[in-house]
Amino acid sequence: MIYEGYIYVLSICRNDPSPECLQGLWRNKVQFYFTGNDVKHTLKRISAQIPQCKQIDAKLESLAECLSLITPDLEVSMKVNEDVFVGHNLEMKENWLSFQIMKVDRYMGISSMESGLMKKQVTCFTDLSGAYLFFLGLISSSVVTIGNDYYFLLFDTSQVPDCLANPLAWFSVKDQLKADLRNALKKVGRVSEEIISLESLLDSSVISAMMSNRLERVNLRLLKISSEGNTYKVYNDFPITMLNMRIYQNMKLVKSLQKLVNLLIIPASDFLNGRDKKGDGYHAYMALKYVYMFLTSDNSTYLNMAVRELHEANKANEKGGYLRWITYLIMR
């Protein structure tokens, strides 16, 4: 998340951010709640370090308001002992902070892998500078909150050097995809490989952003992190790869398929969530799978199979509007 925060700062405020620009980054509202020792201890420790802060409650919005009042040095580095320390002043003896959300790394192996502690569970500690960047990263990566589940879209670590070289171009792609994934996740209510991939691969706005910035490949990760008791756990770490595919040379077809996905996503999600009362949801889901296979293989046979599933869905529910897309495609 610290890298995400740094990319966010560079994309909006450039290399020499003013206090006013940094303050503006905190205005984006994200629904996120602290838990466990964060509420009991860590938020109180931050409040003590920032005199102008009032009492910080369990909402991220409250912490964001507090952090927006300061302008810390954003040059941070990492030190590894038994644990991982990230901050501006690594020689600091006290006032280190550790949030529960930072500890999800131990379930994913990120901190362990980067620090060489592959067989150990490590805790990440940070100072105000690191916390500042971390929570800017969390805000800029937040897709949607559904119940106790938080969804975040992050750049793959392999992509970070490219992002740092041209942060505005890369961040614009991620930001657009976030908006569309937010709508999809609200409809589906869960991570489905085919649906998330189709939403990404057929997102005409994202494709346009990639083309205008001459990006051939964008590697991202969609995380689902759930709040459980006094901690958080990662339940999905889904890779999303955007490639400059041949089909993008035919944007009319891309937009047609995007319309089809938008048509199918609700009945398909009904099937996935056990609410497929008329039976068309199963065929809608199968049609999505075949569209996905068509995109990833460039084999038109799968598109024909998707059309066949549309006819089956129409038989199950004639009011579903499934044949309208076929008519629309022919008219195009």
Distance CA 256, CA 330 (A): 10
Question: What pLDDT shows up at residue 329?
Answer: 62
- Is there a contact between 159 and 169 (Cβ–Cβ < 8 Å)? no
Low-confidence ranges of the chain (pLDDT < 70): 105-122, 190-191, 328-332
Question: What pLDDT shows up at residue 273?
Answer: 83
Q: In what order do the strands lie in the sheet with 77-80?
A: 77-80, 84-87, 124-126
Q: Which residue blocks in the chain are alpha helix, DSSP H?
A: 2-13, 19-25, 37, 43-49, 60-67, 105-108, 110-115, 128-141, 160-165, 167-188, 193-201, 204-212, 251-272, 280-297, 300-316, 322-331
Question: What pLDDT shows up at residue 106?
Answer: 44
- pTM, whole model, 2 decimals? 0.86
Question: What pLDDT shows up at residue 220?
Answer: 94
Tens-digit pLDDT profile for residues 137-168: 999 999 999 989 999 999 998 899 999 999 99
